[in-house]
Structure 1
Amino acid sequence: MLLEVEDLSVNYGVIQAVKGVSFKVNEGEIVSLIGANGAGKTTILKTISGLMKPSGGKIVYEGHEIQKQKSQKIVAGGISQVPEGRRIFAGLTVLENLQMGAFLRKDRDGLKKDYQEVFERFPVLRERKNQDAATLSGGEQQMLAMGRALTAKPKLLLMDEPSMGLAPIFINEIFDIIQAIKQQGTTVLLIEQNASKALAIADRGYVLATGNILMTGTGQELLANEDVQKAYLGG
């Protein structure tokens, strides 16, 4: 068990955004959280990353509770996040953005190799490595956000709406890349509005509604579920 979230509750002031959510992520899986806007998905990822503190419950990563740890220690422990809206650093070059992802790493030789791997995975980033990251297209910025997270050498990659706002040609490419990342040994916890795409590549999924988990199953089981189809897949 790589990650176990137990009875997690998170408040925004007086509003309870997450209400006693529990789920597990095994090593080597893609696990997808799906649900409507406002279901609490992004809040859960931010809490795992240490950007928000829970009001109750536990987050256990590699056997240790991390819900009270600072986000820097959580990243150093092997959890990286690709945030919603990409959040690349404008005014910095593509290469400098990648270097920000590797900020906590000390192994320079390993870093050079990993930059090369990112450039092999995303050739457009190599072509534009000296360009201001703000000049990239939306799809290219998403690739940069993914590459930046991967330079931290995560064991667990948290992805928040990677296909949002992208052209269809980029959406397919992003989901292919997520599968390739898994095949290279990185575990992925994925939040995605495009539920059909997310469940198609997920080993397991959880359906959230207003802060609670309604349903769980394999990706294929949830894809075939009539209630899921009606609510999230336009079926």
Structure 2
Amino acid sequence: MAMLEVQNLSVSYGVIQAVKDVSFDINEGEIVTLIGANGAGKSTIVKTISGLLKPQNGQITYQGQDIVHRKAPQVVQAGISQVAEGRHIFAEMTVKENLQLGAFLQKDHDQTDKTYKEIFERFPILQKRQNQDAATLSGGEQQMLAIGRALMAKPKLLLLDEPSMGLSPLFIKEIFTIIKELNERGTTILLIEQNAKQALAIADRGYVLATGNVQLTGTGKELLANPEVQRVYFGG
């Protein structure tokens, strides 16, 4: 049984249909990526899984349980955390206060303290700057903070929406290294990315979306080698 299964999902914004009959699944321990141009429906799918949007039709099953009608905090409690497109950190709050928000549903204070230590070991710059306002961080450091905040909830499934957006090439490389390391340590990941080559290089499987539909699917390696993917996304 897949950890997450999305079946025949359709989502609209008023009269505009953003997602049309999309189906995909994620097995425990995988990195699965959704790639596609702006407007393909990628972020809409993530927001719907997270409980921020409600679909017109379709089913979302997580660990055998239907989560379509759950609110966002209930989805987090179930073990799914989202790192939103554009990071959405609280700029006027300190780094540590941002991290604290990620643990707002955690009731075991000892476990929360342990998670802080794990985050600071993984992202030493956040420990160094924990008392600074988040606005003082660089774009790459803010992305690390956004990921760290999501990890404070101890997710089994991490949803990453455009984590490389707006970052320098150096930080893009570092963020993809972090994603791979998180997966190797046991976190299942759904990766939404316009940087198709980087995403497919680390993904176990991928789905290519266009105008709200799944157009292609395969392993990361298969899609990297696909002539149509190369033509559209790599200029080949």
TM-score by length of structure 1 reads 0.99
**Equivalent residue letter for 2:13:** Y
**Equivalent residue letter for 1:110:** Q
Q: Secondary structure at the match of 2:215?
A: strand
**Equivalent residue letter for 1:69:** R
**Equivalent residue letter for 1:121:** R
Q: Distance in 1 between matches of 2:156 and 2:235?
A: 34
Unmatched tracts of structure 2, length 5 or more: none
Residue 136 of structure 1 corresponds to which residue in structure 2? 137
CA deviation profile, 1:80-104 (whole Å, cap 9, x unmatched): 0000000001211000100100110
Residue 228 of structure 2 corresponds to which residue in structure 1? 227
Matches within 5 A, 1:1-235: 1-235=2-236
Q: Distance in 2 between matches of 1:164 and 1:39?
A: 16
Unmatched tracts of structure 1, length 5 or more: none
Q: Distance in 2 between matches of 1:162 and 1:210?
A: 21
TM-score by length of structure 2 reads 0.99
Displacement of 1:184: 1.0
Q: Distance in 1 between matches of 2:125 and 2:75?
A: 30
CA deviation profile, 1:41-97 (whole Å, cap 9, x unmatched): 000000000000000000000101101111110010000000000000121100010
Displacement of 1:134: 1.1
Q: Secondary structure at the match of 1:68?
A: coil
Displacement of 1:234: 2.0
Q: Secondary structure at the match of 1:118?
A: helix
Q: Distance in 1 between matches of 2:83 and 2:72?
A: 14
Q: Distance in 1 between matches of 2:20 and 2:172?
A: 31
> Sequence identity, in percent?
70
Displacement of 1:111: 1.1
Q: Distance in 2 between matches of 1:53 and 1:154?
A: 22
Q: What is the alpha-carbon root mean square deviation over aligned residues?
A: 0.5
* Aligned positions, number: 235
* Residue range with higher mean Cα deviation, 104-113 or 76-85: 104-113
Q: Distance in 2 between matches of 1:111 and 1:80?
A: 16
**Equivalent residue letter for 1:39:** A
Q: Distance in 2 between matches of 1:233 and 1:112?
A: 44
Q: Secondary structure at the match of 1:170?
A: helix
